[in-house]
Amino acid sequence: MSMTTASAAVGSVCFPRSRIRGSSFHPRMSIRSSGSSTDTLSSVTQILTKLHKDCATPVPVLRHVADSMANDMRAGLAVDGSSDLKMILSYVDALPTGNEKGLFYALDLGGTNFRVLRVQLGGTDQRVIATEAEQVSIPQELMFGTSEELFDFIASGLAKFAEKENGEFQLSQGRNRELGFTFSFPVKQTSIDSGVLIKWTKGFAVSGTAGRDVVACLNEAMKRQGLEMQVSALVNDTVGTLAGAKYWDNDVMIAVILGTGTNACYVERTDAIPKLPGQISKSGTTIINTEWGAFSTGLPLTEFDRGMDAASINPGEQIFEKTISGMYLGEIVRRVVLEMAETGSLFGSSIPEKLQTPFSLRTPHICAMQQDTTTNLDAVGSILFNEAGIESNMGARKMVLEVCDTIAKRGGRLAGAGIVGILQKMEDDMEGLIFGKRTVVAMDGGLYENYPQYRTYLQDAVTDLLGPALSENIVIEHSKDGSGIGAALLAAANSKYKP
């Protein structure tokens, strides 16, 4: 993968710098007297050695993380608020069967862009006849604006997309358009088509939405736009991914998103959910949205993680997400490299202002650097110069690559341990449910899709924890854009016009 390709490919997994509080850094061009090369190498080596130690993920550490994940899941299923994991009920108790027919829409809101999609379903014989999608960037000011402003902007984009409907896409007579709404923020779901926003994450700070039903917010905005469309299913992106993947492969039991942020959901037995209200699903199962980004027990953290967390808009929260997701990996690397420059003069006597700027080095950059196979690490040198203002020699480039690999390895292996924790919880509750037969984990997100080293480390951790025999039955499959089609399928499965 070339530097350009890698940067473009993974670009979707990172957030803009404006997300960081303005008071969290003070740019400066530091000039320092250069010490001896021996002193410089010694200081930098010490930082790298400590980083390796603090980020280490041997099997005992991973096993503790997996066990803690399973325990926190049980606590969250028992009583709301008793665990870092919210274990949110999705109210999806009937997944699509393949018999669904008609035209359905999906809206996916989960980051700096939102995506709109339409899908024509043809039932058992034809399945998905046609799909069409568009992506719209959200202006940064709307991420800090009012609820009405944000939802009006989204509804306007949806209305423009609906106007282009033609050809293979046919709305059944006598029906309004129906929408599956993928909303990838913590929501207290109250039914399949309603849910109250708990809080914004991923850098959003929109006023007037927390505590409100987000479906009502969108329905009201669509009405203001004159768009005749209604939300039939509210889903998290992981829930949509699971539904979309299970439509094609019945062995799918877990879905994980690894992109800008991260989350996981899985199929749970209703009799294993003590906090479940009176109604019991006909299927005896439902999908649980873990909100695993909030997990924090037993994670190997460094001084750089703590510094980044303290400077974030949500200190002390989303620690697992800050350790494994695409929004943060590049920033952790930048902080380590800055320390090497300040303490060890890794790049000489001056420290560029760019390097001192939070989020100037992003996950696409560290991914692209790790794909560099040139003799002189030319791509690494170019990225360091263009993105961080750094003039580097071969030794410095190798050091930076070591940092990139250390952070990516920790992230991938911790994500793998989290997956094993979910599998373990399911198996402990019903022996033979998971292990010993084919079980599929559907994965989506730009980080997983475009960062090969990260993917490898994740798979290695699953194998290390389960052993070669059991891990052979755990199939980790990429389900690209599964959440969009999954949301449309769930809208179809929960259609207001369903006989």
Residue-level pLDDT at 497? 79
From 157, 152, 106, select the one nearest 132 (Cα to Cα): 106
Residue-level pLDDT at 17? 27
| 465 CB-near residues (< 8 Å, 6+ apart) | 59, 62, 63, 66, 416, 417, 420, 471
Coil, helix or strand for 34?
A: coil
Residue found under tokens 């475009």: 450
Quote the CA–CA distance of 408 and 402 in Å, as a whole number.
10
Catalytic residue among 202, 354, 409, 425: 202
Asked if 202 is an active-site residue, the reply is yes
Asked if 237 is an active-site residue, the reply is yes
Residue-level pLDDT at 472? 93
First vs last Cα of the chain: how many Å apart? 50
Cα angle 99, 289, 299; round to 5: 140
Residue found under tokens 């329905």: 219
Q: What is the pLDDT of residues 234-248, one digit of tens each?
A: 998 899 899 989 888
Catalytic residue among 84, 213, 237, 372: 237
Q: What is the pLDDT of residues 70-98, one digit of tens each?
A: 999 999 999 999 999 999 888 887 788 88
Residues of the chain below pLDDT 50: 1-34
Residue-level pLDDT at 24? 38
Quote the CA–CA distance of 339 and 345 in Å, as a whole number.
9
Residue-level pLDDT at 6? 36
CATH class assigned to 90-248+481-493:
alpha beta
Q: Sketch the domain layout of the chain as residue ranges.
A: 90-248+481-493
Cα 350 versus chain centre, distance:
36
Q: What is the pLDDT of residues 245-267, one digit of tens each?
A: 988 888 999 999 999 889 999 99
